Structures are given as C-alpha cells and as structure tokens.
Chain A
Amino acid sequence: MHFAFTDQQVEFRDAVRTVLAKECTTDDLRSAFDHPVARTPRWAALAGLGVVGLSVPEAQGGLGLGLVDLVPLLEEAGKVGLPEPLVETAALAAPLLAEVGGAGPAGDAVAGWLAGIADGRIAVAVASGPGAAPVAGADGADLLVLLAPGDDGGPEVHLVASPAVTVTPVGSLDPTRRLGLPQWVPNPATRVASGPTAASAVRRTADRAAVATAAELLGLTERMISMAAAYAKERHQFGRPIGGFQAVKHLLAGAQVKLEFARPVVYGAAWSIDEVEPTSSRAASTAKAYASDAATEAARVSLQVHGAIGYTWECDLHLFLKRTWALSEAWGSAADHRALVLASLVQG
C-alpha cells in the first residue's frame, strides 16, 4: 500500500504546469473563441513534453505510461481550461488503439495513428454510442473513433480519417469546447475491432473517459475555488474583506471539502483501471460522480462569491464555469454514475 504519486510523476506535473501557465492564459482562451484551431503551437508543446503521447507505446514513439501518470497532467489541463482534445487523444484514443492494435495492414494503420498522436500531428475525437449526437472536438479532429453497436448489435470500434467525414458545427455554451455532428457510415473497412476485444475496449474507454474527465474537473474545481478565494480577500464591503464573513467562508469551505475528497477517489480509480481491477468500472463511476458534484458545487459558490462581476463576460470566471457545466454532464452525469455504482453493488 502506497497511495501517492511518485516524485517523477510530481515533477512531470510541475513541468506541465509551468508550460501551461505560459501557453494557456485566459487571453489565449478568449482568442480561441474567434480563432478555433484543433492543433495549436500549444498542442505541439505538449506533444514535445510527451504529454499527448503519454499512453502511446514506446515502439510508436510514446512514453508507454498509464492513466495514473496522466491524471495529474489532466488536472493541470483542467486548471487552465485547455481547449485542445487532450482527454480524447491522450487518455482515450491512445490506450484504445494500443489495446486493439493487432497485426497485418490494419495493425500497421493503427500503429501509424499512434505514432501520429505521439508526435503531435494527430488530434482525435471520440464518439460513443449509437445515434447522431454532437461530439466534442469533432470539427478539426484528424481522426474519429466511433464506439457503436454493429449490425448484430455487438460492440464495435471504428476509425475514420477526417477527409471521410463531414462534420457540421453545433452551437454550444463553451466557445472553447466546440461540438460537431459527424456524418459517416460505419462499414467493414472502418472497423478495427469487434467481439470481445471491442466489448472490452468500449468498457475500458468509458471508464477512462469517466476518470480522465473527472481529473479535468478536479483542476477546474481548484481553479474556480482559488479565483473566488482571491476575490473574497480583495473585495471589501462593510469595511472589511468579504472573505472574513462566515457566510462566504462556509460556501468556499464546503466546495473545498468536496474537492479534497474527490481527489483520492479519482486517483484510486485511475490506479484500478491501470491494474485492470475487477471493480475498476465502479471506481470510475464513483470518481466521475464525485468530481462532477465537487465541480458543479464549486461553480455555484464561486459565481455567488464573485457576485455580479462574476456574471459578466469580462470576468474570466465564466470560462471555467462553462467548461465545468459541460464536463459534468459529459461521459455520464453524476446521477448516471450513481445509478451505475448502485447497480454494480447490488450485483455484488
């Protein structure tokens, strides 16, 4: 039992934090409203550090590491509101492709995609489930991964390169998280996995998506609480900083307690996925439910503590509120995951 990150993992996180503090300011987020690009110089910088290809096998130029290694970096991405599809590319597509890999020409194609992820040439969007639903980052992605039932109803994994897909942009609240509706038809040529391989890939991708999104939500939660705490120290009413009033303190303390307890839940879930523990899906659902609730509570109270200024376009807070609201519902809401947790407990 040693429930902590290694020194190396902490150093990697600190390096990513330093780069993102410079490369992903709130001014950068605002400029992304008007000039959306999937692969920015920032993406190249992250790829250069090894972040994008972290889960890509070493044979394809990646670091061959796991979700435990990636989670602290995703927290940093959440903290700055990183617009690029790091969850989809690094946390979902890379380990999925590595797992379905295989031999022959199909395997070579997968290896090619993995190499492209590792060197920062490829951004990926991941669509889950049947039916046409908007997909984050689909517009501008180089590769689409589709997890959907095949003709026989069994799970399948499909890959489609961007030229073969038409993506219709869909309006969304968070201008830095662009949604698109991909139109394409799954066919035997796009299929890379079916049967038990696909079933496992689909389940593990859903678990990774829950935990990776939860990790970004941890970072967002910390950012919103720290913005509100800073404001509460600076803003004076009745001749004193509003942060001195218990009514304000207790709002922020409540959110902070939720954050403190969400962290180990997310870290433990990442570990259980890497170790393929039998309870990893339940752990992933617990992580997503906990992190979504912590983040939505932090969003609520940080807006309240900011007061009217927090409700303006000018104040940076909304950049993080909107991402929080989007990610809280993405890959299963807190309520969805509570239902999954309970079903798994009752089944034993």
Chain B
Amino acid sequence: MDIPMDLRFTADQEAFRRDARSWLEAHAPAPRSLPSLDTAEGFEAHRAWEQAMFDDRWSVVSWPEEFGGRGVGILEWLIFEEEYWRVQAPLRVSQNGVFLLAPTMFEFGTEQQKGRFLPAMASGREIWCQGWSEPDAGSDLAGIRSRAVRSEADDGWFLTGQKTWASRGAFAEWCFGLFRTDPETERHRGLTYFLIEMDSPGVTVRPIPQIDGETGFAEIFFEDVFVPDTQVLGGVGKGWNVAMATAGSERGLSLRSPARYTEAAGRLVALYAGLQADQPDRAARSADSVAQAWMDAEAYRLNTLWTATRVLDGGSVGPEASANKIHWSETDLAIHRAALGLLGPAAELHGGDVDAPWLDGYLFALAGPIYAGTNEIQRNVVAERMLGLPRG
C-alpha cells in the first residue's frame, strides 16, 4: 500500500460518529439504570434495548443492510463502539450472537440460515448462548463427549450430553454448540457445529449462580434433542474449523472493542484526580498502577487500529488473536484493580442502595482470563504458532 500512515478518521467517518452520538444520547438508558442482565427482569430490559437499537439500525452497524445493519466497515464499527461506551450504554445481552456466532455464520452459513437467524439475533428477539464447554472439556475443548446421532428418516440429528458455563444460558432462546457426530473419531475430528432451539423437547437448563450471586451462566442437559439438518453450521464433521472461526472472533477483533477499556480508563483517571485533590499521599501510592492501566487501554486501542488496517488491506488475524485476548483480559483487570486501590476501604461496599461500578466491573473482569480459552491456553498458542516452539 502506498497510503501514508494516518491515525485520523475521515470526514465521513466523523459524520458517522456524530450520527451515532446523537442517536445514543437521545435513546440510551442512563448508565447502570437497567437491572442486571443476569436476572429475568434485567434480561428482558436489555432485550428491549436491543430491539430499540435494531429499529433504528444501530444494533449491528457493520452487517449488510438486508440483515438489519448499515453495511459500514470495521473502522466505523470501532467508532460506534467508542460512542456506545462513551454514554455507558447497557451491556449487550445479544453479544454471543452478534459478536461471536454472526461472524461465523457470515463465513459458513447457508443463505437460508443467514436469512432465518441473523435479523432475529440482531433485534434481540432471539438471544444466543454458547454450548461448548463440558464438565470434562474446558481448556481441552477437543475432549468433547456430547454426541449427535444421525436419523436418516427424520433428516436430522439426536443430541445427547451436557454443556456447562453457558453465559446467558438461563434465559437464552438459542444455543450454538459442538457435538461429536462421528463416534469413531477422537479429538478435533468428527465434531459438528449445531444451532439448537432451547425449548426443544429434551433440553434441561440448570442455572448456576456466579461469584456475584446472580445466574450469569447455566448447565444445559441434552437428552435425545432433535435438531434438523438445516441447523448444522458449516458441514457435518467440520465443527472444529467452524468453532475456531468463532474463537478467532472471541479472542480477536469483534468481542471486545477497545472503547470498553479506554472509557473505563478515562473514569479511572478521573477517580485518581479526585483522590489526588483530597488525599494526595494515598493517590501517589496508586499513581503507577493508574498510569499503567491507562496505557494498557491505549495500547489496546492502537493495536486494534493496527490490526483493523491489516484486515482492511486484505490481511488476516492469526495467532495474534491469542495475544489480543491475553492483553484485553489483563487490561480489564488492571483498570479495575487500580480503581479498587484508589477506593481503599470503600472498595468493598456492595449491595443495597450502593452503586458499585468498580467492584462489579472487577468481578466481571476476573472471568476474563478464564473464558474464551484460558490465558494459559492462549500463551501456548502464542508460543507454538508465533514463536514456533514444539507442541507439548
């Protein structure tokens, strides 16, 4: 490319930003005003917010217009995210669908599947959860035992097994999951990626209270659950490849936009400045961690723009997605740990009428190094695929 380096957005992109900003300022609920999305009531409130965004075509700006998007590029999506986090709009209850399944469906789905699932996903009418982990297949995802048996007569499959740690599984309408369709095979081979309706006969959901006491995730039991052939994504036996595309989105560009962290880092600096005025000695002791957390968020922003440019120029995201996941999860922790340090004795206040965004954020951040593939697994990927070290 002969385009000189330029870190400014274009006039058109800034116009897009102004449109997004004015819509969000007019429509977004006040920060933290909705009940937690991990409650039945909060789930529905967040669903209504997804619908409101969809109605004005702001829920999935980078999707083609026929599915409810605006057909804009990745840079505009990043701009939208900056504006979204700027007003501290609600967490996306549809995130497993729009950020993880959708990119995979655009790559591997049939036209029929895209038409059937994407608009319903984008409007929040159908919320998705992820059925990957099993009691004996966590970091070792290829150890999946849940199986699917083909029935020629029924043009479909019967699924049996157990999935766990399914975020939003307690309330979701649909689940995308990996099942073993060839009992003769082991590990990465013989897996298939299914789209499963949660109210199918044979599905049992058991909510699991999380560390904060709310039912953020669930166990899902499958007992001869029928799934038609039309709900296989990417081909029978191709599940691992399809799942790795989803994992790439989970770790790479689409799940966690930098705005989430740069916005929090900005609030962290404001918290620091306030303490500096009141208790300069205490503030000074946290100065280094505040600066580091802000820089970590800034580095994530710059790295995302660097990667987005490479993708727009025709490149791809490979094992860098694993480095990315390590960085964003550790950045989230660094920001919130620094904030709790500034709060000091007030850091533990929680519940009742107390609004505790930093503590809630910290509890959420603590899951980051665990979900989407533990950071230990990501370090293996970095070592093996970026540095060429032997597989263990």
Contact = CB atoms under 8 A, between A and B. Distances in A.
Contacts of A2: 1, 3-6, 309
Given A250-B379, A257-B326, A4 B387 contact: no
A263 B306 CA distance: 9
B392 A260 contact: no
B299 A264 contact: yes
Contacts of A342: 269, 272, 287, 290-291, 294
A253 B295 contact: no
A253 B8 CA distance: 32
B299 A249 contact: no
Nearest to A2: B3
Interface in B347-392: 376, 378-380, 382-384, 386-392
Nearest to A248: B389
B269 A345 contact: yes
Contacts of B298: 265, 286
Contacts of B75: 1
Given A271-B5, A286-B298, A249 B313 contact: no
Nearest to A259: B323
B18 interface: no
Contacts of A203: none
B10 interface: yes
A252 interface: yes
Secondary structure type dominating chain A contacts: helix
A241 interface: yes
B318 to A, nearest CB: 12
Given A1-B10, A250-B379, A260-B320, A339 B5 contact: no
A271 B309 CA distance: 15
B288 interface: yes
Contacts of A264: 299, 302-303, 305-306
Nearest to A270: B5
B106 interface: no
B13 interface: yes
A1 B389 contact: no
A246 B9 contact: no
Interface in B2-28: 2-10, 13
Given A2-B4, A229-B389, A249 B380 contact: yes
Interface in B306-337: 306, 308-310, 313, 320, 323, 326-327
Max chain A C-beta neighbours (<10 A), residue from B8, B313, B383: B383
Find the residue from A226, A241, A250, A267 having the highest chain B CB count within 10 A: A250
B5 A3 contact: yes
A218 to B, nearest CB: 13
A341 B295 contact: yes
A234 B98 CA distance: 45
A245 interface: yes
Contacts of A229: 387-389
A1 B309 contact: yes
Contacts of A6: 1-5
Contact of B376 (A7, A250, A261): A250
Interface-centre pick from B5, B298, B327 (highest chain A CB count, 10 A): B5
B390 A252 contact: no
Given A1-B8, A1-B309, A244 B389 contact: yes
A257 B300 CA distance: 11
A338 B379 contact: no
A261 B388 contact: no
A240 B392 CA distance: 10
A257 B392 contact: no
Interface in A296-348: 335, 338-339, 341-342, 345-346
Contacts of A237: none
A5 interface: yes
Nearest to B288: A338
Interface string B155-197: 0000000000000000000000000000000000000000000
B8 A246 contact: no
B323 A257 contact: yes
Contact of A7 (B2, B300, B327, B383): B2
Interface string A152-181: 000000000000000000000000000000
A225 B295 contact: no
A253 B384 CA distance: 9
Nearest to B386: A256
Interface string B236-271: 000000000000000000000000000000000100
A262 B299 contact: yes
Contacts of B320: 260
A244 B392 CA distance: 5
A80 B300 CA distance: 28
B287 A339 contact: yes
A140 interface: no
Contact of B305 (A1, A256, A257): A1
A242 B269 CA distance: 43
A290 interface: yes
A4 B309 contact: yes
Contact of A243 (B6, B295, B386, B389): B389
Contact of A339 (B1, B272, B291, B386): B291
Nearest to B6: A2
Interface in A211-269: 225-226, 229, 232-233, 240-241, 243-246, 248-250, 252-254, 256-257, 260-265, 267-268
B382 A1 contact: no
Interface string A1-33: 111111110000000000000000000000000
B299 A290 contact: yes
B80 to A, nearest CB: 14
Interface of B: 1-10, 13, 75, 269, 272-273, 276, 287-288, 290-292, 294-295, 298-300, 302-303, 305-306, 308-310, 313, 320, 323, 326-327, 376, 378-380, 382-384, 386-392
21 contacts: A1-B7, A1-B10, A1-B13, A4-B1, A4-B3, A4-B5, A232-B389, A245-B392, A249-B392, A250-B380, A253-B379, A253-B386, A253-B387, A261-B300, A264-B302, A265-B295, A272-B7, A286-B298, A289-B295, A290-B295, A346-B272
The 5 closest A-B pairs by CB, nearest first: A249-B383, A243-B389, A338-B291, A253-B379, A253-B382
